[in-house]
């Protein structure tokens, strides 16, 4: 097996080329990252929800800006988000569920 980047011979089981450091196994699962903290999102929505801060925090930047401009859809949107966060159906921009820490 040869490195696709630098062409040097590498161990077939190697994940990263020892010569140039490029990732060899393209089929390796990409780590999506952990979801955002549930409690932080809840508190942000509860106290500064109309400013869309919980949306910025979870990566929904565009929605955050819209909520900021419309004052959280006159509070209704903030309330819907709050219910979704409490019931656990709220997802961050990467599609990860919010993480509840003990
Ligand atoms: Zn290489």
Q: Tell me: the pLDDT tens digits for 33-53?
A: 678 999 999 999 999 999 999
Q: What is the mean pLDDT of residues 70-77?
A: 93
Q: How far is the CA of 91 from the centre of ligand 1 (A)?
A: 37
| Rounded Cα–Cα distance for residues 80 and 68 (Å) | 15
Q: How far is the CA of 28 from the centre of ligand 1 (A)?
A: 17
Q: What is the mean pLDDT of residues 23-38?
A: 69
35: Cβ contacts below 8 Å, ≥ 6 apart:
91, 92, 94, 96, 97, 98, 99
In angstroms and rounded to an integer, the radius of gyration of the C-alpha atoms of the chain is 21
Note the pTM of the prediction, 2 decimals. Answer: 0.65
* CB-proximal residues (5 Å) to ion ligand 1: 3, 5-6, 17, 19-20
């Amino acid at each position: 097996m040869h490195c696709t980047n630098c062409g040097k011979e590498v161990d077939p089981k190697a994940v990263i080329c020892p010569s140039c450091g490029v990732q060899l196994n393209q089929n390796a699962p990409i780590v999506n990252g952990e979801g955002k903290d549930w409690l932080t999102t809840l508190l942000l929505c509860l106290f500064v929800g109309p400013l869309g801060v919980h949306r910025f925090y979870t990566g929904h930047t565009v929605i955050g800006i819209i909520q900021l401009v419309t004052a959280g859809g006159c509070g209704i949107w903030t309330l819907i988000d709050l219910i979704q966060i409490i019931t656990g159906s709220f997802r961050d921009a990467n599609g990860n569920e919010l993480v509840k820490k003990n």
